[in-house]
Amino acid sequence: MKSQIATALYVVLMAVVIVVVDVSFFRNRFWERLAVNAGIVLIFAAFYFRFLKRP
C-alpha cells in the first residue's frame, strides 16, 4: 500500500513540475513545450526505475 501511495505522489509531483515549467517558460511555443515535457517525463521515469522501483 505504501508503494502505491509513493508512486501516486511521484506522478503528482511530475505533473506539477510539467505544469510549472509550461506556464513559466513555454506558454505559446507548442513544439518546444512538447519536447521539454517529453524530456521531463523521461527523466522522472529514469529516476523512478533507477532508485525507487523495488525488485
Q: Tens-of-pLDDT digits for all 55 residues of the chain?
A: 777 898 899 999 999 999 999 999 988 899 999 999 999 999 999 998 888 776 5
pLDDT, position 51: 85
Residue 33, amino acid = R
> What one-character DSSP code corresponds to residue 8?
H
Please report, for the chain, the start and end positions of each structural domain, with discontinuous segments joined by +: 2-52
Question: Cell digits for 44?
Answer: 522522472
Asked if residues 48 and 6 have their Cβ atoms less than 8 Å apart, the reply is no
